[in-house]
Amino acid sequence: HEYAAQNGISVLEMALAFVQQQPTIDVAICGVNDLDQFEALLESSKRKVDIGSFAQFAIEHAQMLDPTQWDFL
């Protein structure tokens, strides 16, 4: 959220940019709960966001990557 705010983009725009930059993904399927979410998705999909490398957001901590190790207490 902090990166998106500092760069004047929404978290939705950032997420869509990530998906669009993946060479193995041809189409993104998104679900919405209401008209407001649908309109936000449409607007966000029109804006082309170039974040460059997403490597800066990589998570390598094994406990965070493995849901069986998540502590829900």
Concatenate the DSSP letters of all residues of 10-29 into one string.
-HHHHHHHHHHT-TT-----
pLDDT single digits (tens) 19-48? 888 889 999 899 999 999 999 999 988 888
Residue 18 pLDDT > 60, yes or no? yes
pTM across the whole model: 0.66
